[in-house]
Amino acid sequence: MALLLKGGKVVTHEMTYTADVLCEDGKITRIAQDLSAPEGAEVIDVTGKLIMPGGIDPHTHMQLPFMGTVAADDFASGTAAALAGGTTTIIDFVIPSPGQPLMEAYHQWRDWSEKSMSNYTFHVAITWWDDSVHQDMETLATEYGINSFKHFMAYKNAIMATDDILVSSFTRCMELGAIATVHAENGELVYHLQQQLMEKGITGPEAHPLSRPPMVEGEAAYRAISISETIGAPLYLVHCSVQESIDAIRYAQSRGHHVYGEVLAGHLTVDDSVYQDANWERAAAHVMSPPFREKKHQDALWKALQAGTLQTTATDHCAFCNEQKAMGKDNFTQIPNGTAGVEERLAVLWEKGVNSGKLTANEFVAVTSTNAAKIFNLYPAKGAIAEGSDADIVVWDPKGKKTISASTHMSKIENNIFEGMEVTGVPTLTICNGVVAWKEGELLAKEGDGQYVMRPTYAPFYESLQRRKALAEPKPVNRKS
Ligand SMILES: NC(=O)NCCC(=O)O
Ligand SMILES: [Zn+2]
Ligand SMILES: [Zn+2]
């Protein structure tokens, strides 16, 4: 199966140039000007369009059992939405219940994800600890292509990882050549503030951000960084939303620590006024953790993304419909936490990042695809337009316009946190594994077309980490007498 993209402009994280791109058997095989089509190849004219690596969303939760319900978008509807937005790979999460064997949870998620239309892979959450978890982490890393393990520092009495678990698991990550990731919020403080707010009779969605003020995130970010740095293990902080987290990351980076940060398209563009909405349903639709923040934090997030303090953008796509959100009608702590966005991330980043002059097109590629590929050891198979790379491509129309709306999105839910946003710059064609998966509004991929992606351990940054560790190895004092 061959596909030739003719007349477009290739945009990678480091350069922009005019070339045709030939895809054969799922790989990019030739990039050059004036390529002629092999016999039987499909030729697509992409004059005036940009040819970029397909988006990688490093943070989604399809079909997640969470807070007494299950996220509404499953691996079919969620990955269809991803393809419609130009994203060709998602990194979702296996989240074992406390006490559930990791391998059992992993196989459960593999089963659910069989119907994926885009490519997919998993972080595995460490929600409890014993010798079997220690052993299963190795099995997952060596046999199943898992090179990242997630720790929720929030969600007390559910999936929260306490400090002892962080210490054990980060140490294990270091032994295995994997990367630890954290949802940084102090779960004890959140719990305490939630009880206080409920006692005061503040039971609506407006209480949600009050129960998770910036320092709740900043403290946890600083703590996770301190633990990982002491152990010498690399760390990735998901959905950073406040200045306090950025400061902690930047300070750690200035000390030479391998710490990476992710920001969500939602946190960059939606502010906390949404929780004041007089309409309960609309306010509840925005309940996610960490919450949307004051504008000053948004400015700080953009600057951190521009400066490279934060490297990736994601969505934390975890969609709940109105009926599910209504579980917390009288108690905001019971509103299922989560919002969608996997379809909108690229267009939102282009509109608010590239069109506003905050990001170059090359930086856009870096923060929507290449950097995630590098951190999670998928590069250059993914995150690149290069001969030999996987043919995961988005063809982008920088002049195309669209108004984002729940009435036209692919997600199953009735709300969209970007509702009404007008964007200039949209995908016209999404190619996944060398096959046209979505074209100008038409979904061509079928359930099961997506491939499970193995991610080997020991990403390139591990070489320097290991050298450092060897040089710093403690030695006993040899006392003769
Ligand atoms: N983010 C959120 O509110 N829901 C999904 C679970 C998580 O990532 O914390
Ligand atoms: Zn989270
Ligand atoms: Zn999440």
Is residue 182 lining ligand 1, measured as CB closer than 6 Å? no
Is 313 a member of any domain? yes
Neighbours of 328 (CB within 10 A): 22
Is 475 a member of any domain? no
* Mean pLDDT of the 307-323 span: 98
Tokens representing 184 are 């940084």
Residues of the chain above pLDDT 90, percent: 99
Domain interval for residue 104: 53-385+453-462
Q: Give dist(CA 93, CA 394) in Å, integer.
A: 24
Is residue 58 lining ligand 1, measured as CB closer than 6 Å? no
Nearest ligand by distance to the CA of 336: 1
Is residue 118 lining ligand 1, measured as CB closer than 6 Å? no
Q: Name the average pLDDT for the chain.
A: 98
Q: Dump pLDDT digits (tens) for 81-138.
A: 999 999 999 999 999 999 999 999 999 999 999 999 999 999 999 999 999 999 999 9
Compute, in angstroms, the gap from residue 182 CA to the centroid of ligand 3. 10
* Mean pLDDT of the 384-413 span: 98
The confidence score (pLDDT) of residue 1 equals: 85
The confidence score (pLDDT) of residue 266 equals: 98
Please count the structural domains in the chain.
1
The confidence score (pLDDT) of residue 89 equals: 99
The confidence score (pLDDT) of residue 105 equals: 98
Is 474 a member of any domain? no
Is 35 a member of any domain? no
Is residue 337 lining ligand 1, measured as CB closer than 6 Å? yes
Nearest ligand by distance to the CA of 183: 2
57, 59, 61: which to mutate for ligand 1, most atoms within 8 A of CB? 61
Tokens representing 106 are 């992993």
Q: Dump pLDDT digits (tens) for 409-437.
A: 999 999 999 999 999 999 999 999 999 99
Is residue 338 lining ligand 1, measured as CB closer than 6 Å? yes
Is 232 a member of any domain? yes
Beta strands across the sheet bearing 119-125: 55-57, 87-94, 119-125, 148-152, 179-183, 235-237, 259-264, 312-314
Lowest mean pLDDT among 14-28, 296-310, 465-479: 465-479
Is 170 a member of any domain? yes
CATH of the domain at 134: 3.20.20.140
* Mean pLDDT of the 326-336 span: 98
Q: What is the ipTM of this complex?
A: 0.99
The confidence score (pLDDT) of residue 480 equals: 85
Is 159 a member of any domain? yes
Compute, in angstroms, the gap from residue 415 CA to the centroid of ligand 2. 20
Ligand 1 atom, smallest distance to 337 CA: 3
Considering only CA atoms, which residue is closest to atom 8 of ligand 1?
316
Is residue 425 lining ligand 1, measured as CB closer than 6 Å? no
* Mean pLDDT of the 385-403 span: 98
Which residues fall inside 5 Å of ion ligand 3, going by CB?
Answer: 316
Compute, in angstroms, the gap from residue 401 CA to the centroid of ligand 3. 29
Is 275 a member of any domain? yes
Q: Dump pLDDT digits (tens) for 135-190.
A: 999 999 999 999 999 999 999 999 999 999 999 999 999 999 999 999 999 999 99
Compute, in angstroms, the gap from residue 253 CA to the centroid of ligand 2. 22
Q: Dump pLDDT digits (tens) for 200-257.
A: 999 999 999 999 999 999 999 999 999 999 999 999 999 999 999 999 999 999 999 9
Instruction: Give the 3-state DSSP-derived string for the chain, with helices as H, strands as E and coil as C.
Output: CEEEEECCEEECCCCEEECEEEEECCEEEEEECCCCCCCCCEEEECCCCEEEECEEECCECCCCEECCEECCCCHHHHHHHHHHCCEEEEEEEECCCCCCCHHHHHHHHHHHHHHCCCEEEEEEECCCCCHHHHHHHHHHHHHCCCCEEEEECCCCCCCECCHHHHHHHHHHHHHHCCEEEEECCCHHHHHHHHHHHHHCCCCCCCHHHHCCCHHHHHHHHHHHHHHHHHHCCCEEECCCCCHHHHHHHHHHHHCCCCEEEEEEHHHHHCEHHHHHCCCHHHHHCCCCCCCCECHHHHHHHHHHHHHCCCCEEECCECCCCHHHHHHHCCCHHHCCCCECCCCCHHHHHHHHHHCCCCCCHHHHHHHHHHHHHHHCCCCCCCCCCCCCCECCEEEEEEEEEEECCCCCCCCCCCCCCCCCCEEEEEEEEEEECCEEEEECCEECCCCCCCCECCCCCCCCCHHHHHHHHHHCCCCCCCCCC
Which pairing describes strands 27-32 and 422-432: parallel, antiparallel, or unpaired?
A: unpaired
Closest CA relative to residue 11, chosen from 377, 304, 359: 359
Considering only CA atoms, which residue is closest to atom 5 of ligand 1?
338
Considering only CA atoms, which residue is closest to atom 2 of ligand 1?
338
Is residue 318 lining ligand 1, measured as CB closer than 6 Å? yes
Compute, in angstroms, the gap from residue 319 CA to the centroid of ligand 1. 10
Is residue 287 lining ligand 1, measured as CB closer than 6 Å? no
Considering only CA atoms, which residue is closest to atom 7 of ligand 1?
289
The confidence score (pLDDT) of residue 481 equals: 72
